[in-house]
Amino acid sequence: MKIVIIDYGLGNLRSIEKALEYVGADVEISKDISVIDCADALVLPGVGAFRDAMMHFATLERVVKDAVDEGKPLLGICLGMQMLASQSEEGGLHRGIDIIPGRVIRFPASELKVPHMGWNSLIIKKNIPLLKGIDNGSFVYFVHSYHISTDAEYGAALCDYGIRFPAVITNEAGNVAGTQFHPEKSGAVGLKMLLNFVESYGH
């Protein structure tokens, strides 16, 4: 299975590439539409502001949505997961890719620090391929100020940080998954998820 990490100008691409290579993936970083179109599976990473990400992503959006419609697997990571939503309130109201119905919103004001940064545990709600062999309560690494608000049916795993928010999402067809945390920074648990993506979604 050929995995292409989508290079739209934002995100720590090398770290996710190294993690995927570590679990045995055939992986390439590319912003070339023809390369993305020929991939067996796609990874959409991201670090930074939602508006900037969507502006940079504009020329690649159609090929990615077509790939998803064809049933190809897509994994969104951190900001890449948030981009899958319908819209975001970060820096004003901005349109997302709209693969997962929902809105990206900021954590409410509380005594908790924002951004939500560090290790936190997962509350697993759905048995999806990405979470195969992952124990309920497993810890993963987060860095984010915004989170997706969506219907419960799209939340495969949740996390508590003042409120309960989706930490892993999936679409109705099951070929799209997103992690609000960074699997490439989440030790053995994160590497297991990436291995699951390579093994389970490609067959």
pLDDT at 11: 77
Residues 112-166 have pLDDT tens digits of: 999 999 999 999 999 999 999 999 999 999 999 999 999 999 999 999 999 999 9
pTM of the model: 0.96
Is 17 annotated as catalytic? no
Mean pLDDT of the chain: 96
Q: Which of 28, 116, 182, 203 is catalytic?
A: 182
Query: Residue 73, by phi and psi: left (phi above 0), alpha (psi -120 to 50) or beta?
Result: beta
State the catalytic residue, choosing from 78, 90, 144, 159.
78
Q: Examine the pLDDT at 169 and tell me if it is beyond 70.
A: yes
Measure the CA–CA gap between 12 and 27, rounded to whole angstroms: 15
Catalytic pick among 70, 153, 184, 203: 184
**Residue span of the structural domain in which 92 resides:** 2-200
Is 159 marked active-site? Answer: no
Q: Is 203 a catalytic residue?
A: no
* Structural domain total, the chain: 1
What is the CATH number for 84? 3.40.50.880
